[in-house]
A and B are shown apart, each in its own frame.
Chain A
Amino acid sequence: MTTPANEPQGLAPQYRAFKRMLDERGILFSFSGYLSEGILYSLGETLRQKMTLDDTNITTIKKVFSVFIEQAQNIIRYSAEKVLGNVGKNVELSSGMVTIGTENGRFFIVCANTILEEDVPRLKQRLELLQRMDKDEIKAYYKEQLREAPDENSRGATIGLIEIARRASEPIQFDFDRVDADKFFFCLKVSI
């Protein structure tokens, strides 16, 4: 970590400040780096255990867990930063970030990853459509998509995004930030 003059010096003070910054934002946990299905499983289990120990009601646990899984699987599938290969078995490691926390009495889940510029318009269009829909419209759209054959190259993204929007307690928020000539940083925030 770099340490500008106004930041604490020393290893422990630096990381303590970093941790405090996350804590102050209500973050329960945040994962940044290469995400795999194994990490998804372990983080998901820990998340459910933590919420269960905190006496969170089962419907809220289910919603948070579902949004977490769909978002993490979207990163694994669609991140533009991937390492693929065989290490005795086929592995697909995808770079991204998943953050879960609480604010104003609600859980929130933010996922972020880089995506190719050519994929931005379609993703933006899908998310804007979901943002404009009310609960009943989202539910009807989900049922309609359940019966549709999957889009080519999508590996199930449409229905995954609808599932995310369906579990949200307020409209989903998203944003894109240009990284370089052909990539954007994409993030999606869902409150439950």
Chain B
Amino acid sequence: MENLMIAATERSPEVDFDFATGRLSLKGESYPEDASAVFGPIFAALERFLGDAAGKDVQFDFDLIYFNSSSAKALMNMFQLLDAAAGRGIKVVVNWHYAADDETMQEFGEDFSEDLEHVTFNLVATEG
């Protein structure tokens, strides 16, 4: 499956999905005018990849500075997809990166992780 690389824009994150190695990442900021236009293709690619990822190890790094509420909904959908895949036996590790003094991003990470039953979720604080 083709890798998915999308450069960041002022209001949307950098996407780097390397499907061959199972290393995925979302990085930057997300408050686009239309979250479904930004996340639709990302979600679709992730869904296709996870549907055929039996025996693969998946590592997903989230390194987000800020996202708005409609992006949060899209992220929640992605986590549900990842958790379902992990429930089918695919090993999924999520690393949630946040600046050590950023309580908002830490809390978002904690909130998302509470809903996941099968994914290994690591909160990774980075010093500024």
Check if A and B associate.
yes
A interface secondary structure, majority: helix
> Does B111 make an interface contact (CB < 8 A)?
yes
Question: B102 and A59: CB pair below 8 A?
Answer: yes
A21-63 to B contact mask, C-beta < 8 Å, 1/0: 0000000000000000100010000000000000001110011
Q: Which residue of B lies closest to A37 (CB)?
A: B33
Q: How many residues of A contact B (CB 8 A)?
A: 25
B122 interfacial contact with A, CB 8 Å: no
For A37, the chain B residues whose CB sits under 8 A away are 11, 33
A93 at the interface (CB under 8 A from B): no
* Separation of A160 and B35 alpha carbons in the complex (Å): 13
B residues within 8 A CB of A162?
69
CB distance from A94 to the nearest CB of B (A): 12
Contacting residue for A73 out of B31, B66, B102, B114, CB 8 A? B31
- In the complex, per-residue mask of A152-177: 1 if CB is within 8 Å of any chain B CB, else 0: 00011001101100000000000000
Size category, B interface: 20 to 34
Contact indicator A143/B111 (Cβ below 8 Å): yes
Contact check, B11 vs A156: say whether CB atoms are below 8 A apart.
no
**Contact of A146 with B76 at beta-carbon distance under 8 Å, contacts A69-B68, A73-B31, A73-B68 already known:** yes
> Closest CB-CB distance, B128 to chain A, in whole Å?
8
In the complex, chain A residues whose CB is within 8 Å of the CB of B105: 62
Chain A residues closer than 8 Å to B80, beta-carbon distance: 147
Is the CB of B103 closer than 8 A to any CB of chain A? yes
Verify if B10 is at the interface (C-beta below 8 Å from A): yes
Residue in A62, A142, A155, A160 whose beta carbon sits within 8 Å of that of B104 in the complex: A62
- Chain A residues contacting B84 (CB-CB under 8 Å) are none
Tell me if B73 is interfacial: C-beta within 8 Å of chain A: yes
Are A69 and B31 neighbours in the complex by a CB distance under 8 Å? yes
Q: Do B76 and A147 touch (CB < 8 A)?
A: yes
Across-interface contacts of B10 in A (CB, < 8 A): 41
Cβ-neighbour of A156 out of B70, B76, B103 (below 8 A): B70
Contacts A41-B10, A73-B31, A73-B68 known; A58 to B73 CB distance under 8 Å?
A: no
27 contacts between A and B (CB under 8 A): A37-B11, A41-B10, A58-B102, A59-B101, A59-B102, A62-B104, A62-B105, A63-B104, A69-B31, A70-B68, A73-B68, A76-B33, A139-B111, A142-B111, A143-B111, A146-B73, A147-B76, A147-B80, A155-B70, A156-B69, A156-B70, A156-B73, A159-B69, A159-B72, A160-B70, A162-B69, A163-B69
Q: Which residues of A contact B (CB under 8 A)?
A: 37, 41, 57-59, 62-63, 65-66, 69-70, 73, 76, 139, 142-143, 146-147, 150, 155-156, 159-160, 162-163
Ordered nearest first, which 6 A-B pairs have the shortest CB separation?
A156-B70, A163-B69, A159-B69, A62-B104, A59-B103, A146-B76
